[in-house]
């Protein structure tokens, strides 16, 4: 009999031999391949455990917190468990139910966690843009007519809470539906326990070839098509998201979507063309691909390994690369907090910082700085107006310049507004004048109040102290300590990104 080529049609004898051929057997015909899988299993386990340990170790670092440590770490654990189980059928005979559980419950949960993290990136990116618009509108309304309307302050945190609820729904509802579908098949089909037993160990690849218990795997088939469609939509949405890091969150999500779409399409092609359909027989190349990918199982293992790498390992690598780069450039005078203050006192550079902060989901820090400067300008103008009014003998003209953030009327004073924070000295214990107090109250509701539209990351104890001071004896320097803390946060988070872009462009 002539040797068949890859693109030849499989005859009945070839198909019979293909369906009866076992991967795990007593003859050990696949001993070398099984040994390779065992070695890979050990290497991958060591790699993933080490990556998870380092991820936990660096959980307080900015690059990890940006990705939401809890959600990402849970995803990493699910990826690890699913990958761990996916290697068993290649090394030993396993119960059919283990394959059904891994395929129909763990795989969807792993992919859903990835999708939820991707939705989080998209939603929080637009949420940060919304913060900028909201603060700008509120500031304009305050200048026109002071009114402490807390509705926007309550509205924005509700969006954040809704994002978290959406993420929980994306993960748990489809997973529970999948688990319920598996239970339904076992309850309604009396023979299902024989087709896919709980404890009887069998050759998983042979079961896939013969279609034993195929009803159970209809669940993942539906999820597969749905996942391809959603991943395609997410890819389009992610293109509009900006990321300051070349291999940052956007790269992780976008590349993962492309890998998921490609692997699912390839799996569907293999599954559709590797089975006999009546008298029509498949081509040998698809049969070989079916065996090589173990019925498509290893394609999903590759997806899981990639998702684990970009979500857990890549951030750890980035952290140490950035730290090494910062240590190397430590002597560079630009890599100091003093240089950051110079950047923060240059409006055009603050605009660049704001854009980076939007991409990094921490725009509230830059907004805090910009509005803190406005408060300082108003205090400075108030003091200058006091001096000028006393000289003119007209106290009523004291607050003429407080209702605008325009710096055009500062040219007559011996200070440039751009260097206001750097040059301006004042008594921080001076009581806040009644004319400026509404701005201090509004600032509190914007950035300090837990329900604020752009609340910054400070402890509740500090926030309570500020509230007590604002309620009893507000002083013009009451936000100074928080300002220093926010600048330090920016120095460790968005400032390194700014310096990399600055060196690259200039």
Cα–Cα distance, 75 to 99 (Å, whole number): 20
Whether this model's pTM surpasses 0.85:
no
Cα–Cα distance, 133 to 173 (Å, whole number): 34
Which residues span the domain enclosing 73? 12-123+168-327
pLDDT digits 0-9 by tens, 316-326? 998 888 777 66
327, 359, 385: which is the final residue of a domain? 327
pLDDT of residue 47: 95
- Cβ distance 478 to 440 under 8 Å? yes
Residue 489 resides in a domain:
yes
Mean pLDDT on 45-68 = 87
Is 505 a residue whose pLDDT tops 60? no
pLDDT digits 0-9 by tens, 345-367? 888 788 888 888 887 777 888 88
Shared-domain flag, residues 384 and 292? no
- Cβ distance 489 to 335 under 8 Å? no
- Cβ distance 341 to 487 under 8 Å? yes
Shared-domain flag, residues 293 and 197? yes
Backbone angles phi, psi at 66, to 5 degrees: -60, -30
Residue 156 resides in a domain:
no
Shared-domain flag, residues 312 and 457? no
Cα–Cα distance, 28 to 34 (Å, whole number): 9
- Residue in the structure block whose two tokens are 């936990």: 56
Shared-domain flag, residues 366 and 238? no
Categorize the per-residue pLDDT at 503 as very low, low, confident or very high, splitting at 50, 70 and 90.
low
Shared-domain flag, residues 315 and 215? yes
State the CB neighbour count (10 A cutoff) for residue 448. 21
Instruction: Go through 258-268 and write b for each residue having 16 or more CB atoms within 10 A of its CB, e for each that does not.
Output: ebbbebbeebe
- Cβ distance 388 to 394 under 8 Å? no
Residue 141 resides in a domain:
no
Categorize the per-residue pLDDT at 413 as very low, low, confident or very high, splitting at 50, 70 and 90.
very low
Helix-helix angle 249-273:284-292, to 10 degrees:
130
Is 154 a residue whose pLDDT tops 50? no
Least confident of 223-237, 297-311, 337-351, 382-396: 382-396
Shared-domain flag, residues 302 and 393? no
62 vs 262, residue with greater confidence? 262
Per-residue three-class SS string for 346-393? CHHHHHHHHHHHHHCCCHHHHHHHHHHHHHHHHHHHHHHHHHHHHHHC
DSSP classification of residue 277: B
Helix-helix angle 363-392:347-359, to 10 degrees:
150
Shared-domain flag, residues 77 and 181? yes
Residue 446 resides in a domain:
yes
Is 407 a residue whose pLDDT tops 50? no
SS3 content of the chain, % helix, strand, coil (to 5): 70, 0, 25
pLDDT-above-90 percentage for the chain: 6
Backbone angles phi, psi at 482, to 5 degrees: -65, -40
294, 327, 360: which is the final residue of a domain? 327
Mean pLDDT on 145-153 = 37
Shared-domain flag, residues 355 and 318? no
| Angle value at C-alpha 208, between 206 and 213, nearest 5 degrees | 110
Cα–Cα distance, 298 to 286 (Å, whole number): 15
pLDDT of residue 327: 57
43 vs 1, residue with greater confidence? 43
95 vs 45, residue with greater confidence? 45
Shared-domain flag, residues 185 and 210? yes
pLDDT digits 0-9 by tens, 101-131? 888 888 888 878 888 878 777 777 777 776 7
- Cβ distance 85 to 106 under 8 Å? yes
- Cβ distance 295 to 205 under 8 Å? yes
Nearest 10 degrees: Cα torsion 66, 69, 70, 73 = 130
- Structurally, the chain folds into a number of domains equal to 2
- Cβ distance 365 to 490 under 8 Å? yes
- Cβ distance 323 to 63 under 8 Å? no
Categorize the per-residue pLDDT at 145 as very low, low, confident or very high, splitting at 50, 70 and 90.
very low
Instruction: Please tell me the total number of residues recorded for the chain in this structure.
Output: 506
pLDDT digits 0-9 by tens, 177-186? 888 888 888 8
pLDDT of residue 427: 72
327, 345, 360: which is the final residue of a domain? 327
Shared-domain flag, residues 400 and 353? yes
């Amino acid at each position: 009999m002539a040797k068949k080529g890859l693109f030849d049609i499989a005859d009945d004898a070839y198909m019979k031999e293909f369906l009866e051929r076992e991967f795990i057997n007593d003859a050990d015909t696949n001993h070398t391949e099984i040994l390779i899988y065992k070695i890979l299993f050990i290497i991958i386990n060591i790699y993933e455990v080490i990556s998870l340990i380092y991820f936990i170790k660096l959980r307080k670092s900015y690059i990890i917190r940006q990705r939401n440590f809890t959600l990402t770490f849970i995803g990493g654990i699910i990826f690890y468990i699913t990958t761990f189980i996916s290697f068993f059928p290649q090394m030993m005979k396993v119960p059919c139910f283990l394959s059904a559980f891994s395929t129909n419950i763990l795989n969807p949960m792993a992919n859903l966690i990835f999708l939820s993290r991707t939705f989080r990136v998209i939603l929080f990116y637009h949420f940060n843009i919304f913060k900028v618009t909201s603060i700008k509108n509120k500031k304009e309304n305050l200048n026109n007519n002071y009114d402490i309307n807390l509705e926007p302050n309550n509205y924005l945190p509700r969006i954040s809470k809704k994002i978290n609820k959406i993420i929980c729904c994306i993960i748990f509802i489809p997973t529970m539906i999948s688990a319920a579908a598996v239970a339904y098949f076992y309850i309604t089909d009396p023979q299902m326990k024989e087709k896919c037993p709980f404890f009887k160990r069998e050759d998983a690849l042979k079961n896939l070839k013969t279609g034993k218990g195929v009803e159970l795997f209809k669940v993942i088939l539906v999820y597969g098509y749905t996942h391809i469609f959603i991943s395609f939509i997410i890819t389009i949405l992610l293109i509009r998201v900006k990321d300051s890091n070349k291999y940052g969150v956007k790269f992780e999500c976008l590349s993962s979507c492309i890998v998921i779409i490609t692997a699912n399409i390839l799996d569907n092609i293999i599954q559709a063309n590797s089975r006999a359909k009546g008298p029509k027989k498949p081509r040998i190349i698809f049969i070989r691909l079916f065996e090589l990918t173990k019925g498509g199982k290893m394609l999903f293992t590759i997806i899981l390994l990639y998702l684990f790498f970009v979500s857990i390992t890549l951030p750890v690598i980035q952290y140490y690369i950035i730290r090494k780069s910062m240590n190397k450039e430590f002597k560079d005078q630009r890599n100091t907090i003093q240089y950051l203050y110079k950047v923060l006192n240059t409006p055009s550079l603050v605009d660049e910082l704001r854009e980076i902060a939007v991409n990094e989901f921490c725009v509230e820090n830059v907004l805090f700085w910009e509005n803190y400067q406005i408060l300082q300008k108003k205090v400075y103008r108030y003091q200058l107006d006091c001096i000028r009014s006393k000289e003119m003998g007209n106290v009523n003209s004291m607050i003429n310049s407080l209702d605008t953030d325009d710096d055009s009327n500062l040219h007559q004073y011996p200070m440039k507004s751009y260097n206001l924070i750097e040059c301006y000295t004042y008594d921080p214990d001076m009581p806040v004048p009644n004319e400026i107090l509404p701005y201090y109250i509004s600032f509190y509701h914007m950035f300090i109040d837990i329900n604020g539209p752009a609340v910054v990351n400070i402890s509740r104890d500090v926030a309570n102290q500020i509230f007590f001071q604002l309620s009893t004896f507000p002083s013009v320097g009451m936000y100074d300590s928080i300002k220093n803390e926010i600048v330090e946060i920016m120095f460790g988070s968005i400032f390194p990104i700014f310096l990399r872009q600055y060196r690259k462009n200039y």
